[in-house]
Amino acid sequence: MNNTLWALSERGIQILFGLIPFILIARFFDKKDIAMYSIVSMLLFNLWSLSSFNSRSIYIKYKSLYGEAFKRRFLVVFFVNKLIVFFVFSGFLFLYLDSLSYLNIYVVSSFFVFLFNIFETSLWDVECDYKQRKVFIFRFIVSLLSFFAKIFVILYIESIEVMFLVLAFEMLAFQLLFYIFREDKAQRIFIFKFRNWLYFTKKTFPLFVSGLIVFAYNRIDQLMLASLASAEQLADYSVVLKLVEPLSVIPTAICATALPFLVGLKRNKSKYIDVLKGYICMTFYASLFLSLFFIFFGADVVTIMFGEKYVNITSLVFILAMSIPFSFIAVFNGMLLVFYDRQSLAPVRALFGLVVNVLLNFIFIPAYGALGAALATLFTLILSGVVLYLVLPSTRNIGILNLLSPFYVKKIKLIKL
C-alpha cells in the first residue's frame, strides 16, 4: 500500500507541475496558440509512448517472474524496437507536418524523446523492485526545475515553440537520473539475438498496434474539431481535457504497483483475487470521487484557473467529468489483459473504440461542436471499456470482476480467470 501511495504522490506532482504552466498559457496566449500547443504536445507524448513499443506492462510482468535473466535476454530487444518505431513514426509525422511552422521544433523535441526512451527500462526496473519513493524524489526534482523553466519561457520568452523543447528535455532528464543512479552499474546493451527479438516482439506487438489505434481515437476528436469546428471550440475542449485527461496517470500508477505484486501472488489464488479486488476498488472509488468533484465544481475550477473567456463551458465539463470512471476502468482492464496473457485482444478493443469514436464524432461535432466531441468520448469509453469486455466471451470474466469488485460480492471468488 505504501508503494502505491508513493506512486500516486509521484503522479500528483507530475499533474500539478504540468498544469500550472498550462494555466498561464491559457491566460496569456490566444486560443490558436493553445490549440497548437495541445496538438504538438499530444504528438510528442504519443511518440514517447509508442517508441517503447507499448511494452511497459509486458516488461514489468516478465521481469517480476524471471528477474535479471529476462533482462539480459531482452534488453537489446527494447532498444531495437524503439529505434524502429522512432524513425517510422517521426518520418510519417515529418511528411504530415511538412507545411507547419513548428515542424523543426517538433523534430528536435522528438530526438530528445528518443534519447529518453533509450534509458526507459531503468525506471521500469525501479517499479519492479517496489521503490516508488525513489521515483517520487526524482520526479519532484525534475518537475520543479522544469516548472521554473516553463514559467521563465512563458513570462519572458513568450514562445510556445520553446515550450516543446522544455517538455522534451524534462522527459530526458527524468529518465537520465534513473540511469545514472541505477543499482545495476554493469547494465549494458547485450548481444542481439533474432530469436529473442522475434519472441518478445510477438508478445508486445498486439499492445503496440493497440497503442497506435488508441492514439488515433483518443486524438481524433481534437483533429476533427480542428477541421469540422473552429480553433475556439478546439481550445475550449483542450482546456477542459487538460484538467481531466492527466487524471489517467492515477490508474496507471495503481497498475504499475499492482502488476508486479499480483504476479508474485498469482500462485495463491484466494489471496491474489482479494488483493486484485482491493486494487479495483481503489481505482473505482478514486475515479468516482474525482468525477463527482468535477461534476459539481469543475466549471468553477475552469473559470478560476483559466479566466472568464471559458465561463460558458459548464456542459462540456459535466460530460467529460462523467467519463472519468470509464477511463479509469479502461486503463485497469488493459493491465488485466497483460496479467492474464490476453494482450492479443487489445487491438480488437482499440479498433472497436476507434470506429465508434469516429462515427460518433461525425454525428455530434457538426451539431454540437466541442460538446459533441465530449459526448463521443463518453460513449466510446462506455462501449469499448465496459460493454465490449462483457460481450466478448474471453474477457467477460474480467468485465464482471471490474463491475462487482467495488461492491465486494463474495461470489467473485468463484469466477474462473
* Residue 339 in grid coordinates: 496479467
Q: How confident is the model at residue 412 (pLDDT cuts 50, 70, 90)?
A: very low
- Angstrom distances, CA of residue 48 to CA of 85, 211, 295: 10, 11, 31
Average pLDDT of the residues in 129-156: 83
Q: Rounded to whole angstroms, how far apart are CA atoms 301 and 147? A: 21
**pLDDT tens digit string along 280-317?**
888 888 899 999 999 988 888 888 877 777 767 788 88
Question: DSSP readout, 375-386?
Answer: HHHHHHHHIIII
Burial group, residue 393, by CB count within 10 angstroms (0-12, 13-18, 19+): exposed
Separation CA 216–CA 195 (nearest Å)? 31
At residue 416, the pLDDT reads 44
Closest CA to 128 of 58, 206, 50: 58
Q: How high is the pLDDT of residue 341?
A: 83
Please provide the average confidence, as pLDDT, over all residues in the chain.
77
Q: Over range 248-259, report the average pLDDT.
A: 83
Of 163, 173, 141, the closest CA to residue 13 belongs to 141
Highest average pLDDT, of 115-119, 170-174, 299-303, 357-361, comes from: 357-361
pLDDT over threshold 60, residue 415: no
The better pLDDT of the pair 384, 130 is held by: 384
Span 13-23, mean pLDDT? Answer: 79
What pLDDT is attached to residue 274? 79
**Which ranges of 132-268 does DSSP label H, i.e. alpha helix?**
132-152, 160-180, 194-228, 231-244, 249-265
Residue type, 123: L
Domain locations in the chain as residue ranges: 2-414
Q: What is the mean pLDDT of residues 168-189?
A: 69
Q: What percent of the chain has pLDDT over 90?
A: 7
- The predicted model gives 386-393 an average pLDDT of 89
Q: Which helix (H) or strand (E) holds 31?
A: helix 31-51
Rounded CA separation 132/127 (Å): 6
The per-residue pLDDT for range 34-91, each reduced to its tens digit, is: 767 776 676 666 666 666 666 777 777 877 777 777 776 777 777 777 777 767 766 6
| Phi, psi angles (nearest 5°) of residue 30 | -80, 175
Q: Which three cell numbers stand for residue 49?
A: 509512448
